[in-house]
Structure 1
Amino acid sequence: MNNPECLLPPILPPLQLLHLDERLAVVNKPAGLMVHDSKLARGEDDFLADRLREQLGRPIFLVHRLDRATSGCLLLAFDRESAGTLGKALMGGDVTKDYLAICRGWPAEEAFTVDHDLDGGPGKPVKKQAITHFQRVALGEIAVPVGEFSTSRYALLRCQPQTGRFRQIRRHLKHLSHHLIGDTSHGDGRHNRSFRMQGIHRMLLHAERLRFPHPDGGMMDVSAPVDGEFGKAMDLFGWR
């Protein structure tokens, strides 16, 4: 006879709330969790939006999105008015997003900007201007051969997208040939495999910081800690 407890859905830990008030919240989205149902869901039934509605016991309105494989700051509102106000701030360039990324190679410049047009993703072939600002935070090298080289070089970057195109940071890093580690769509499989051998399986892109005007006035500045796997990657190079 089957144990009834085996038929119960697993109890999931609550999502980490980085900020919470009557108008809005900022959640630390885990890597690997889709934000909401879409054509990319492929039959999945576990979404951050649904978890948050259950956890908070109230309707939520997503202000922006993060890719499934990306972790970090995600902004949501609790009413349409607040969502509209925050959405206008986002479209008006008043919201600043900082990401941490680990890429292959050492970018030559300490600070640089990529202005490279991108399409809107599947079914949206029209290209639009896409601008991302990058800053080198740290450089590292490990004695792991990849291809013709006896060692492998990597960089920790802080990325600030000025526009919001489909997978913008990931595709801009590919354009530079400084592929994002763990990116199975736009990355370099050799380096991804090298990190998997170290027990690091996630894509190494994290929405570290979010700054935005609160609907009630004043500026909000919210930061999200990296998860254990991203931290493990940083520890390989002594970056924290």
Structure 2
Amino acid sequence: MGDEQPVLEVIQERKPLEILFQSTDLVAINKPHGLLVHRSMIASDASEFAVQLLRDQLGQRVYPVHRLDRKTGGVLLFALTEAMNSIMQQRFAEGDIRKTYLAIVRGYTADELEIDYPLRRDDGIVQEAFTKVKTLRRTEVPVPFGKHATSRYSLVELTPTTGRFHQLRKHMAHIFHPIIGDRPHGCNKQNRLFLEQYAMNTMLLHAHQIQFQHPVSGEEIVITAPVQSEFERMLAVLFGEKPAFTQIL
């Protein structure tokens, strides 16, 4: 057979998770799009999870006090003790944590609106769900879509006061302004357009900020996550005002 050169396997080491905030009992990261918070039976293809990655990075046990969708990037908060985990989970459940998201959606949204639309769980239970929407930017790009010669999009700030499963995704689809890159609640034709036109298949939903009063110190904590690379790229492509966005985001 002759001499054969051994195949060397190249292992790419994942970059450390971006730490946004850390104290003796809490830590927050900027979760990448596509990273699961923890193991899930419905995502058997995943081999990395935020809980394990952060545990290994810090060298201690961590407790996720809330959840983000796999496709959503941004602020993800963990407790570092069981006691703080219990307190913060209760704070989230009671709506004491203010959460703000950014999303790029199809069409021109109203300057401000409120979505009061109950959502049905998989088990059939209907829950109240409320989201505030504020439009930050609108754009029209010379890309044909359907019968239209151009395509219109909005950058919106979303503030949910309830925390239902896929609430923001379902609410924006309900008002016919689906989030770009969302599956299954979004627009498949728009998602295909972004894949073909911009080589982009990330869901453009970003957990921008959380704000709360620290349970022990009473200090007002504000944690903000900068948008990640694909979201930033699409802001520049669609809105063309990258320097201006640094003042908002």
TM-score, scaled relative to structure 2: 0.90
Residues 1:174 and 2:173 aligned together: yes
CA deviation after TM superposition for structure 1 residue 4, in Å = 7.7
2:135 corresponds to: 136
1:186 corresponds to: 185
Question: Where does 1:151-230 land on structure 2 (aligned, <5 Å)?
Answer: 151-196=150-195, 197-216=197-216, 217-230=218-231
Look at both structures and tell me which one has the larger radius of gyration over its CA atoms. Answer: 2
- Deviation sequence 1:111-165 (CA, Å, 0-9, x none): 1110111122xx4221111111100010001010111111000000000111111
Instruction: Name the stretch that deviates more: 88-97 or 28-37.
Output: 88-97
Contact 1:86 1:213 in 2 (8 A): no
> What SS does the aligned partner of 1:190 have?
helix
> What SS does the aligned partner of 1:186 have?
coil
From the superposition, tell whether residues 229 and 219 of structure 1 become closer, same or farther in structure 2 (CA, over 3 Å).
same
Letter in 2 for 1:215: P
2:39 corresponds to: 37
Supply the distance in 2 between the matched residues of 1:148 and 1:106 (Cα, whole angstroms): 17
2:28 corresponds to: 26
CA deviation after TM superposition for structure 1 residue 2, in Å = 7.8
Contact 1:119 1:165 in 2 (8 A): no
CA deviation after TM superposition for structure 1 residue 9, in Å = 4.9
2:57 corresponds to: 55
Question: Where does 1:6-25 land on structure 2 (aligned, <5 Å)?
Answer: 6=9, 9-25=11-27
Question: Where does 1:102-141 land on structure 2 (aligned, <5 Å)?
Answer: 102-107=104-109, 109-120=110-121, 123-141=122-140
Letter in 2 for 1:143: P
1:97 corresponds to: 99
- Deviation sequence 1:4-46 (CA, Å, 0-9, x none): 851x753111000000111010100000111101122224221
Contact 1:200 1:232 in 2 (8 A): no
Supply the distance in 2 between the matched residues of 1:164 and 1:39 (Cα, whole angstroms): 22
Letter in 1 for 2:77: L
Supply the distance in 2 between the matched residues of 1:145 and 1:59 (Cα, whole angstroms): 50
Contact 1:119 1:166 in 2 (8 A): no
> What SS does the aligned partner of 2:120 have?
coil
> What SS does the aligned partner of 2:15 have?
coil
Letter in 2 for 1:12: R
1:72 corresponds to: 74
Supply the distance in 2 between the matched residues of 1:93 and 1:174 (Cα, whole angstroms): 23
> What SS does the aligned partner of 1:72 have?
strand
Letter in 2 for 1:135: K
Identity within the alignment, %: 36
- Deviation sequence 1:67-103 (CA, Å, 0-9, x none): 0000000010011111111112212221000000000
CA deviation after TM superposition for structure 1 residue 238, in Å = 2.1
From the superposition, tell whether residues 39 and 119 of structure 1 become closer, same or farther in structure 2 (CA, over 3 Å).
farther
> What SS does the aligned partner of 2:168 have?
helix
Supply the distance in 2 between the matched residues of 1:32 and 1:85 (Cα, whole angstroms): 28
- Deviation sequence 1:190-238 (CA, Å, 0-9, x none): 2112222213220000000110121322110010001111011111212
Aligned CA RMSD, in angstroms, stands at: 1.5
Number of corresponding residues: 236
> What SS does the aligned partner of 1:179 have?
coil
TM-score, scaled relative to structure 1: 0.94
Residues 1:231 and 2:232 aligned together: yes
